Structure 1
Amino acid sequence: MKISDAIDSQISVLILIDLQGRLMPAIEHGEEVLNQCIRTAKIAQLLDIPIIGTEQSPSSLGSNIEAIQSLCSKTMSKEYFNACADGLIEELPQNRRQCILMGCETHVCLMQTALKLINAGYDVSVVVDGVGSRRALDKQVALDRLQIAGVRLVSAEMLAFEWLKSAKNPAFKEVLALVK
């Protein structure tokens, strides 16, 4: 699979990284990031795309925000910043080679997880309007580094229409209502 290949809903999995109640207030534009993650997860559900959530050290940082928890088909607790070190790859459906990442913090857990997934042979995309860090500089440097490493950078709307492929998709009107 080449990075130039289209994102395909049939082989995608959405991974929501560490959208935890105690972390989100510290994230720059955290409310916007969270809303974009929720909107994208609802689109993924409409298109039968599995959604996996991660929680960093939930005993100290708490659980993911309830709206995120309810959208995930599974949520895994982790202690490593790179979710793969805590078993993320084993949780991924076998037939899903495209990993779409959203969440926090861009320059720590999300970046380390994305880099490991690339190294493991997965096609990785990061939804740039659905990721956040405490500082804008950290987010930008991480996105630059991820792109150099071979991660596809997309917007949430770009992703939604790529997943749909056509206005003839049965979920088109429902997805359009979420996007607009």
Structure 2
Amino acid sequence: MAGPTPERRFKNPAVFVCDIQEKFRPTIHEFDKVILTARKLLLAAQSLSLPVFVTTQNRARLGDTVAELQPLIAAAGPLVHADVDKTRFSMWLPPLSSNAHFSSPSEVAIVGIESHICVTQTALDLLAAGHRVYVLADGVSSSNRQEVPVALERLRQAGAVVTTSESWIYECMGDAGIPEFRDMVRVVKVTMGDTRAALQGLLGSKI
């Protein structure tokens, strides 16, 4: 007798890429590691056909999204539902909040900067709107590294899940029987070195 049809664990996931811009490159702690995890998450989003929402903070002054991510954002095509410039710190702006994807609760993964400002305010707004928030600790940082654990602890207490990119990706899938699983294993293998570098650089021995 055949078992149940494999299906994803998350029913309405989304990816938020918060303000990973050129001008921040020299100032953010382990900025290159944030880029590595964002790249991995964008590859996963492409394989799993997940909606992606990208923002920049005051693009005219702080620059565009980093060059390393531009090809993946472009390749995502219609999966990128918003590429929004903002002055508000939170990403949860009308171009995102009014998107049809969020008419039902979503499981949102956030990567980007800064942990204690834009990432925190975005997460708090998403939680207030009834969504499930996953802050990927191997994909967020701040200019002062000491801000990061404080921000992550605050977000835990507020109800966000602090986890890692690989954990979120596998939880999103939920079942090795889904058609996309083989391609996702390839993504995980290709980015294995990046994953180790990001974990070591941003987390060390603890989250």
Secondary structure of the corresponding residue to residue 64 of structure 1: coil
Q: Rg bigger for which structure?
A: 2
Choose from 71, 82, 88 the match for 1:80. Answer: 88
CA distance in 2, matches of 1:45, 1:87: 21
Q: Corresponding residue for 1:151?
A: 160
Please say if residues 13 and 96 of structure 1, whose CA atoms lie closer than 8 Å, have aligned partners that are also in contact. Answer: no
Q: TM-score, normalised by structure 2?
A: 0.77
Name the % identity. 28
Task: Answer yes or no: is 1:102 the counterpart of 2:103.
Answer: no
Matches within 5 A, 1:10-49: 10-49=11-50
Counterpart residue identity of residue 79, structure 1: T
Assess if the C-alpha contact under 8 Å between 2:107 and 2:133 holds in 1: yes
**What is the CA–CA distance in structure 1 between the aligned matches of 2:129 and 2:174, rounded to whole Å?**
27
Quote how far apart the aligned CAs of 1:134 are.
Answer: 1.3
The 2-side partners of 1:96 and 1:65 are apart by 30
Judge conservation of contact 2:109–2:168 (CA < 8 Å) in 1: no
**Residue in 2 aligned with 1:168?**
177
Secondary structure in 2 matching 1:178: helix
User: Secondary structure at the residue paired with 1:107?
Assistant: helix
Mapping for residues 53-92 of structure 1, pairs under 5 Å: 53-72=54-73, 73=80, 74-85=82-93, 87-91=95-99
Aligned to 2:130: 121
Determine the C-alpha separation between the residues in 2 that align with 1:92 and 1:112: 21
Structure 1 runs not aligned, ≥5 long: 1-6
2:16 counterpart SS class:
strand
After TM superposition, give the deviation of residue 178 of structure 1 in Å: 2.1
Unaligned runs of 5+ in 2: 1-7, 74-79, 190-207
Task: Give the Cα–Cα distance (whole angstroms) in 2 for the partners of residues 13 and 19 of structure 1.
Answer: 17
TM normalised by structure 1 equals 0.88
Deviations 1:73-118 (A, max 9, x none): 1311110111225643124623462221111111110101111111
CA distance in 2, matches of 1:26, 1:76: 22
Instruction: Give the letter for the 1:125 counterpart.
Output: Y
Residue identity opposite 2:151 in structure 1: A
Residues 105 and 132, structure 2, Cα contact 8 Å, conserved in 1 = no
